[in-house]
Amino acid sequence: MKAHWDVVVVGGGHAGAEAAWASARVGCRTLLLTRDLGAIARMSCNPAIGGLAKGQTVREIDALGGLMGWAADRTGIHFKVLNASRGPAVQGLRCQSDKAAYSREVGQRLAARPNLELREGAAAGFVVAEGVLSGLRLEDGEELGCRAAVVTSGTFLRGLIHVGAERQAAGRWGEMPCVDLSDALRGLGLRIGRMKTGTPPRVAGKSIDRSKTVRVRGDVAPRAFSFRSRLERFPRLPQVDCFLTHTTERTHDLIRRNLDRSPLYSGVIRGRGPRYCPSIEDKVVRFAERDRHQIFIEPEGLDTDWTYLGGLSMSLPADVQDEVVRSLPGLEEAEILRPAYAIEYDVVFPEQLDDTLAVRELPGLFLAGQINGTSGYEEAAGQGLVAGVNAALVAKGREQAPFTLGRHEAYIGVMIDDLVTLGAEEPYRLLTSRAEHRLLLGGDTAYARLVEKGMAYGLLTEEEAAPIQEREERQRAARAALGGSRVLPDRGTLLELEAMGVGLSEETTGAGLLRRPDAPASLRDWLAGRVREPLGGLDDEEWERLVNEIRYEGFLKREREVIERVRRAADRPVPADFRYRGVPGLSAEAAEKLERHRPRTLGQAGRIPGVTPAAVTLLLARLASGERRVSS
């Protein structure tokens, strides 16, 4: 082996980009190996970043020095906060990006990163010395030495594309799959499965009659994902509208009549598809009572006519797809530029990894992204960052603790814990409902939660963190000032408040006024006039966060207390040989699932579906008694 690296990252998608960036930032000599340097961070499906739970994840990546939020801000052409009328815990920032510009932006950032080299090539296997990874073997026979590697192969492991009866071996449309690498992973003794995802047809924008659709405008005052965007012009690109149409009874009839020609329903496709992003065939069959489904018409960029039809993924033959697309209002004359397709690919079941995303069977090897059974750019990027940091720590032989994130710290922590504890029998997607501590995981608090950790691991410099820390100090000063400001029910104050529709019968504080559900937006200026110094420098997003933290202060405090109580019990280890069957009071279902998953701690045990809090209490009592086994 001639060339030797600290860390080699295999694959240049969203997981690979973040893994390589993080490894290089930590100080490792890093190689990013990918088949096509022009396809780095390519958006294989919708060129959109963020959404519910996903937008919070992008903020977390940014707070840890990652690339995704910054690149999205610099290439976004339509920004919108989803669920804006609801509480901050379930809101989600989303943007439509210019597809080509996003890939270029990430590629350029990686190319300019010190300690990082980009190279075209494909891995085919692993070189092992004394039970530890020592290098990679490429498809052309060359061997690269390394101390750690991160495999982020996306949908390329034995990728197989389906359009009706037509099949082609591909990792993405027109791109060769990875077969040898899949065999090499099997050779490690890993349990490999098969999953499926899909993408809708792309149509020519000029062939759409938008007068028959509903216009969807972006936010008037767009919000950025990245704190770094505050230091430059934002948004950088012109903003455009998206559009909305819907399926019709003719659409549904066409699909029902041609289900036998869909490989999804004919039995040809065996991989499990994503439950939360089903194909249009699935929607029509599973939700037969619904007479229509929304279809989102979204541009792929400013300099292309290619347009994405969100919600219309399918695997029907091309001739049927023509009819289906033209049954939609506004798309009667649509020109399909590329048909929809389904793709099957191999995955490594992620319960075989630890919470650093390291493969237990081969020290030095890490996996991130869709190879772990997830779906979505954001999920992949979050895993890539964690795997990249930990690969770098292994490569450097540092004594620093592994880089992990708890469920109470980040959505990324929720995802990784779900994956390594529960596994993934279908493509995993982040949802706010998966996070039991979502009140603490809003996108507006990502920096307060994670910046210090990013600095501790070398992902952020002191200079980069300084403006974030200054912002946090402004928030603390403002909260303290409002909590200490006296608002007396004197005549002048009563008149001013009544003019805003606010009643006052007794002394309170500025925070007390904001805590009231009927507090109007005009209170901001009124309070700033009384507490000018701390409040005057807050921007709209900072003010909104301040109000939310004051308004939900009681809930947040209770949530933190719950976390501390749970933490004390959850960290308790469960012996590897603990026998669950026969524990008095433990249901057969709970015992069976605990035996199968073999949780390492009580916290993991409590997150297994079907294992109730009462069951965890029984286990805690059993462990406290010192009994490890129960006779059959």
Question: In this predicted model, what pLDDT tens digit does every residue of 451-506 receive, in sequence order?
Answer: 999 999 999 999 999 999 999 998 999 999 999 889 998 988 889 888 898 888 89
Dihedral Cα 72, 73, 76, 80, nearest 10 deg: 100
Residue 310 lies in a domain: yes
Q: How confident is the model at residue 1 (pLDDT cuts 50, 70, 90)?
A: low
Q: Is 32 exposed, middle or buried (0-12, 13-18, 19+ CB in 10 A)?
A: buried
Average pLDDT over residues 336-356: 96
DSSP state of 127: E
Does 234 score more than 90 pLDDT? yes
pLDDT for the residue numbered 55? 97
Residues 479 and 533 reside in one and the same domain:
yes
Per-residue pLDDT tens for 117-149?
999 999 999 999 999 999 999 999 999 999 999
517 and 600 within one domain: no
Average pLDDT value for residue range 187-215: 97
Total domain count, the chain: 3
- Of 466, 443, 442, 439, the C-alpha closest to 455 is 466
Tell me, yes or no, whether 510 lies in a domain: yes
* CA R_g for the chain: 26
Both 337 and 206 in one domain: the answer is yes
279-294: average pLDDT: 93
Kindly report the CATH number assigned to the domain that includes residue 512. Answer: 1.10.10.1800
Give yes or no for residue 531 having a pLDDT over 80.
no
Q: Which of 344, 368, 399 is the last residue of a domain?
A: 344
- Of 556, 582, 616, the domain-final residue: 556
CA-CA-CA-CA torsion sign (483, 489, 495, 497): positive
Nearest to 416 by CA among 400, 401, 435: 435
Domain boundary among 556, 579, 613: 556
What is the CATH classification number for the domain harbouring 607? 1.10.150.570
pLDDT of residue 631: 38
On whether both 549 and 483 belong to a single domain, the answer is yes
Residue 596 lies in a domain: yes
pTM over 0.85? The answer is: yes
* pLDDT at residue 264 in the model: 84
Q: How far apart are the first and last CA of the chain?
A: 54
d(C-alpha 430, C-alpha 449), whole Å: 19
**571-599: average pLDDT:** 86
Question: pLDDT tier at 399 (50, 70, 90 boundaries)?
Answer: confident
Same domain, 325 and 208: yes
- CA-nearest of 423, 427, 163 to 269 is 163
pLDDT at 632: 37
Across 16-25, 188-197, 311-320, 527-536, least confident range? 527-536
Query: In terms of domains, do 552 and 580 share one?
Result: no
65 within a domain of the structure (yes/no)? no
Whether residue 550 is found in the same domain as residue 601: no
Asked whether the predicted pLDDT for residue 49 surpasses 60, the reply is: yes
What number of CA atoms fall less than 13 Å from residue 583's CA on the CB side? 27
Q: What is the 3-state secondary structure (H, E, C) of 28-81?
A: CCEEEEECCHHHCCCCCCCCEEECCCHHHHHHHHHHCCCCHHHHHHHHEEEEEE
Residue 492 contacts residue 514 (beta carbons within 8 Å): no
Claim to verify: residue 483 and residue 613 sit in the same structural domain: no
Domain-embedded: residue 520: yes
Regarding whether 217 and 251 lie in a shared domain, the answer is: yes
Q: Is residue 133 domain-resident?
A: no
Residue span of the structural domain in which 602 resides? 571-624
Q: What does the pLDDT look like over 296-344, one tens digit per residue?
A: 999 999 999 999 999 999 999 999 999 999 999 999 999 999 999 999 9
Shared-domain flag, residues 511 and 613? no
Q: Return the pLDDT at 139.
A: 95
Are 241 and 312 contained in the same domain? yes
Average pLDDT, the chain: 92
Instruction: Answer yes or no: do 215 and 318 share one domain.
Output: yes
Domain membership flag for residue 543: yes
Residue 265 DSSP one-character state: H
| C-beta separation of 442 from 223 below 8 A | no
